[in-house]
Each structure stands twice: as C-alpha cells, then as structure tokens.
Amino acid sequence: MTELRKRGRGGDLDSTENISDKETDGEDRVGLAADAEGEGEGEADGEGDSKADTPEVPPSVDNTPECLNKALEGLSSRWKNWWVRGILSLTMITGFLLIIYLGPLMLILVVMMVQIKCFQEIITIGYRVYHSYDLPWFRTLSWYFLICVNYFFYGETVADYFGMLVQREEPLQFLARYHRFISFALYLAGFCMFVLSLVKKHYRLQFYMFAWTHVTLLIVVTQSHLVIQNLFEGMIWFIVPISIVICNDIMAYLFGFFFGRTPLIKLSPKKTWEGFIGGFFGTVVFGFIFAYLLAQYQYFVCPVEYDSETNSFTVECQPSELFVMQEYTLPAVVRSVLPWKTVNMYPFQVHSIALSTFASLIGPFGGFFASGFKRAFKIKDFANTIPGHGGIVDRFDCQYLMATFVHVYITSFIRGPNPSKVLQQLLVLQPEQQLSIYNLLRSHLRERGVLPPANAEAE
C-alpha cells in the first residue's frame, strides 16, 4: 500500500503504463484512506479495523417472545439469558428429533434450508459493509453463484445415488451425462456477468465482494454437501456428530456459567477453560452412550438408499461389523481398577470417542473463527433469527467443521468400496461395456475358485 501511495503522490510516469490515474483515483481514495485510518487508529485500539470497511452496527433488537419476557422479568439479565437460551435450546432439540422421525428426505431438505439461511446471513454482512457504494449486481450474482454451486453438488449426488431413477428418465440421462459441462457453463455465465458489471472507481471493492461470495460458498455450500454425503452413509453418521457438537456447546456453556473463572481466548471473552475442559469430558461420555443407543437400530445404521420401485428412501440392510456387539479385553491398568476383564460394546462406540474428542477440542475453533469474523466487522451476531442465540450461522459455525472431519474420517478409516454405488455406475454404461465387465468379473471369480470352471458349468 505504501508503494501505491508513493506512486499516486509522486506521479511516477512508469506507473501509468499499468494503471490509469483516472481509473484509480476514486478507488484508491477509498482503499488508501482506509489503509491510512487503519494505520493510525488501528494501532491505538489494537484491532487495525478501518472505518471504511466496518458496517454501521444496527441497534440490538430484543426478539425474545413476549411471554418469556413477562415470565422472566424479575430475573437479572444474566439469569434471564440463561433461561432464554435453555428454553430455546430444548425447543430446537425437540424440533431436531421430530425431523429425524420424518426421515432422510426431510433431513436433506432441512440441510438445504440451513445452508441457504447461512449464506444469506453472511452475504448480508458483506452488503452492509459496501452498501453505500451501490455495487451493481452484487446480490443477484451472489445468489446466482449459490444456485450454480448447488446445481453442481446436488447433481453429483443424484448421479451417484439415484442411478436407477436417472436410467428411467431421458431428460435426467442427458443432464447426468453432461452435468459437469453444464455446471461449468453456468458458472462461466456468472463469471462473465461479473466482469461486465465492473465499474470504474469501484474495481477493488467489487473484487472484494467477488472473493467474499466465493469464500462463503466454499465454507457453507461445500460443507453442506459433505453433511448430506455423511447422511447417505447411514443416519448415525449424521445424527451423532451433530448431537455431540450440540452437547459440547451446552456442556461448555453450563460448566462455564457455573464454574468459569479462567478466560480461554481473547476472541471469545466469555469462553473459559473450565467450560472447555468440562465440555470435553461431558461430550465424550454423552457420545459414547448415545452411540450405544443408536447402534442397536437398523433405521440409524443402514446406508440410506433410493428404492426405484417405491420411489422412496430405504434404510434396511444387514448391519456391518461396525454395528455388531463385540467383546473387548480391557487393558491391564484398567483391570487393576475395575472388576471386569472384558466388556461388550459396539465398535462404533470406539469411533464415537474420536468424534467427541474432535468436537470438543477442535470443533470450538469453528466458533472462535466466527467470533473473530464478527469482531472484525464489529457485530454481535450474524443475525437475530433465534432469540438468545443469534443467527443460524452462530449455531452452526462448529457444525460445518465437524461435517468435514466426519467425511474425511469415514473415507479414511471406515468406508470400503460401496457395492450399491458401483452398481449405479455400471447401470449407466453402454450394454457392450456392461458385458465386457461381466465377462472380466466372471473370469476373475473363476480364477479365485469362487465360481466353478467353464467346463463344469457346461456339464
């Protein structure tokens, strides 16, 4: 920035070969003024935020239901907030259980709605920052790119898990065959529209917002896609991770509320070491017990598959070894303390410890990241959607990080080749390709002795 400032003031003739003074006067006035303010005032307050890049903070709105306000009017603000958060948390947990009862399709729809709301909240902050400059097409292009990215990811999901449906419908066959090309063409159209929307004196701001939109898409849409991928592995891979993050949030809040004394991190002044450590142990215990309860039911452990005959999702299967009770020998150190030599439990319970550990120790950094983001733009919450909790992003900042970890964990340590997915891919091939694969597979099985030799079959 210093170099640009010197060029602008000194009138360096060489600089005109790359940048027109007329074009850069306006945008550099905004950008460099912001830098100057950031250098002068940022050192004083320790944050280095420029006024030009900070939105006008809207006045805080108390959207707590009137009935709760009346019922809790005699309490201090601290205890009132405790009760409001508790009641709303129980309400959301009840709603979550109802959605689970309604099945996989409803879960997918809820993930999509949460994704759209999160995107809207983050994009709205960007619009507040730069609304005074009247940047053309910003909101329109942001939502257009959201549609394009969702078309790409959900199209991939349809091609992978709904092969039978695609084979029955000719329009879907065309869309599946050229899906990636269509997705790329749609993105290129948006890219060209952005280039055409560039306005003199606002180039830098427009590229800021272009990057803002794409980072938001990366954080929100990509992670949402991974959540749905985890769901198709079995609802237990969807429910347990989400539940242990919720549990960690609640446990950390309770331990911090009652026992918190030692600040944990400057980004979140209300977070304490007592809450962090208490949340860890509470989450590990909860995850271990909750995994035991869910692992007993096919509805939760079986992969979610599409049944083309009934046009619905099915969750019926022979549970894998991961969800079959096994006997484990306890370590000698544990046996010296406990009276048991062996214990019976599901292997998935062991994996639940890894998931709970990540949710407790690494997951909160998603919340710290969101806190840093909010402090950078001097806002308390992303929105006022949920009384006492803030916006949807405020509740799901740790969930997205957890979703990525679960997906990586499944692909690295759990998932083997998926026969159903392989079959879906085979059905898309041409008949001669299918016959070729059939003959190769039959020859391979004969060599391994799984099938009888050809002369034995003839007899």
pLDDT digits (tens, 9 = 90+) for 301-324: 998 888 777 778 888 888 989 999
Single-letter amino acid, residue 358: F
For 95, the token pair is 């709603």
**Residue 426 burial (CB count, 10 A):** 14
Dist CA 50 CA 146 (whole Å): 29
**47 φ, ψ to 5°?**
-110, -30
Contacts of 240 (CB under 8 A, 6+ apart): 287, 290, 291, 294, 352, 355
Quick one: pLDDT at residue 311? 76
Quick one: pLDDT at residue 40? 41
Dist CA 185 CA 191 (whole Å): 10
Quick one: pLDDT at residue 130? 67
Which tens digits make up the pLDDT trace of 222-273? 999 999 999 999 999 999 999 999 999 999 989 998 998 999 988 888 889 9
Ranges of the chain with pLDDT below 70: 1-71, 130-134, 388, 416-421, 424, 455-459
Dist CA 228 CA 209 (whole Å): 28
Dist CA 233 CA 410 (whole Å): 9
Quick one: pLDDT at residue 412? 92
**Residue 135 burial (CB count, 10 A):** 20
Quick one: pLDDT at residue 55? 46
For 18, the token pair is 């790359």
Q: Between 21-45 and 2-10, two packed helices, what is the crossing angle to 10 degrees? A: 130
Quick one: pLDDT at residue 210? 92
The answer to whether 188 and 116 have CB atoms below 8 angstroms apart is no
Single-letter amino acid, residue 349: Q
Quick one: pLDDT at residue 378? 84
> CB-based burial of residue 51 (10 Å sphere; 0-12 exposed, 13-18 middle, 19+ buried)?
exposed
